[in-house]
Structure 1
């Protein structure tokens, strides 16, 4: 809550308390000469001065506990200083009450709270200690505790958000070079072989980089853009293998204005390209995206390449797992079926 609203809340509370006390005092007619006359402006002003004077007692109790004592107890753990400040608060309020009752209310307002009887210092102390301290002083301590807990919790949440945002930025910076290096190597091979497909591959790579460097930096993107990006990657793979790659990319269901975190699905496709058999007509790489308005089901299956010697997992799958945990907590289900001959990844993702 913003500071100005907190201040307004405090002012409202104390004004309402003053109004309640003023209403009760006027109703009881406790000032001399009031019972047999209407409350005029002058008499109302006397009541207002008296109740404002008394109101400052709970105000002192509350704010001395909130501003002075509670920080020593909760934050600094200085209990001796907290005790001494509590005693000083008690003595100050006792002295304040004595002054206003005997040197302000009695001579100027004609109000004698004790009907001519002397009120000893001991009774002053006991009255303040047993009436105001268990209420307003304790309220001040409780208020500081709740406020400190809220601020600490809020800071922790902000730190977690900042950490998550920084981690997402780092993960994206890992993903982009990973794909870029693979694609440049493929185009280099085509260029080295003086293939006529090199210019087309370079154009596809240009479109892919445009998405990664511009649109892919957004928090979410239309699912059509992500599909177009995957299609470009797949086409680039076909070009790099001179059309020998057997890749089926099927899209089913509703493709509309759904939004998805960008560059999220590519890791599964890259993993299939890197570790799978791409040129077996009987066992093509199967990529299937089934979408509804609320969720998607993304499945990638590939036949394992047993001649592949690269045992490193790379950044891809670890990266996407972490991004899913950060962006879609409790809204995704990722299953990996590592069979003898095939590798299958299935991602169910709630978009809303």
Structure 2
């Protein structure tokens, strides 16, 4: 059972104080025995008439405390991890009971030995047994309580480690879904440009290479600077513009300075991608509004696009992948630190995201 170094220090200090407290108490009070069968309680004889307190009785409590301390560590560091922590309560009860009995006998023998040195009559074991049993019973309870607490802390730590590993695995999976989803849509756009032999096709390929570089080298990080994410978003929008006709208007605006704040990569793109995929009408005019305001601690994203007449008839199973993905990522990465409102009145689809940012 591993204990943090700070707890070892605290246990050591408690051990030292517990062991030497009787000696310190004796030094402060300087007890003495006054001769005479009937001495008033408030009577204080002169120093020359006092008899020094026997040294044997000074060290008697310290030796008893030493045995209690040895029993505590034996139970805490060996018996509990070997039996009780493994769920074998019967073997632990037997081993602990025998150990308590052994230490009770040792303590009784120690007292008898000191009584002999002090020329006192030895006290029968049965007379000392209740008090000794209570002392060792209390030490047993304390060591069991501390041992079970440490075992619970260890279990909690292992559980948190497993949950963190599972969370990171799930986030990696969700992030890996973003890349193919975006890539398929962008390749379709470039394919459309190449079919029409558009002069913008080479520029589109160049921009796509920049986006892919970001996705390969930056998106694998836990967080990236907000400026990089916004630049990625701007390049994506420019890439989309290459395939759009004049009937489609894009209103893109960024306000504020993010400073050194960071954000999880590829977190904003699903909202913008959804607007381009479902907000463009090929039979009439349509406008997509994208507004971002940011500071060193917050970021707000607003996306408004019309619901195209053809969008409702589409049966593309991947249409909901992006939004479902980003909702789950927000819940995992920013619990209690974001607000997301998505509405669809049949004519317009709107997204409002407010996010608390971290700093590098």
Q: TM-score, normalised by structure 2?
A: 0.83
Map of 1:340 onto structure 2 = 346
Once the two structures are TM-superposed, the CA of residue 341 in structure 1 deviates from its matched residue by: 1.1
Q: 1:124 aligns with which of 118, 123, 128?
A: 128
Map of 2:153 onto structure 1 = 150
* 1:82 and 2:83 matched: no
Structure 1 range deviating more: 304-313 or 191-200: 304-313
1:216–1:262 contact (8 Å) kept in structure 2: yes
Structure 2 CA distance for partners of 1:227 and 1:161, relative to 1, 3 Å: same
CA distance in 2, matches of 1:280, 1:204: 28
Map of 1:300 onto structure 2 = 303
Map of 1:55 onto structure 2 = 65
* 1:207 and 2:210 matched: yes
**Unaligned segments of structure 1, at least 5 residues:** none
Map of 1:269 onto structure 2 = 272
Structure 1 range deviating more: 47-56 or 220-229: 47-56
Structure 2 CA distance for partners of 1:122 and 1:68, relative to 1, 3 Å: farther
Secondary structure in structure 2 of the residue aligned to 1:336: strand
Structure 1 range deviating more: 253-262 or 65-74: 65-74
Number of residue equivalences: 337
* 1:91 and 2:96 matched: no
CA distance in 1, matches of 2:177, 2:346: 30
Secondary structure in structure 1 of the residue aligned to 2:242: helix
2:60–2:111 contact (8 Å) kept in structure 1: no
**Unaligned segments of structure 2, at least 5 residues:** 34-49
Alignment deviations for residues 195-240 of structure 1 (CA, whole Å, 9 cap, x no partner): 2111100110011111111122222222221111111101111112
Structure 2 CA distance for partners of 1:153 and 1:48, relative to 1, 3 Å: farther
**1:248-327 pair list within 5 angstroms:** 248-277=251-280, 283-308=286-311, 309-312=314-317, 313-327=319-333
2:83–2:92 contact (8 Å) kept in structure 1: yes
Secondary structure in structure 2 of the residue aligned to 1:119: coil
Map of 2:21 onto structure 1 = 20
Alignment deviations for residues 64-86 of structure 1 (CA, whole Å, 9 cap, x no partner): 44345645886444443233223
Secondary structure in structure 1 of the residue aligned to 2:219: helix
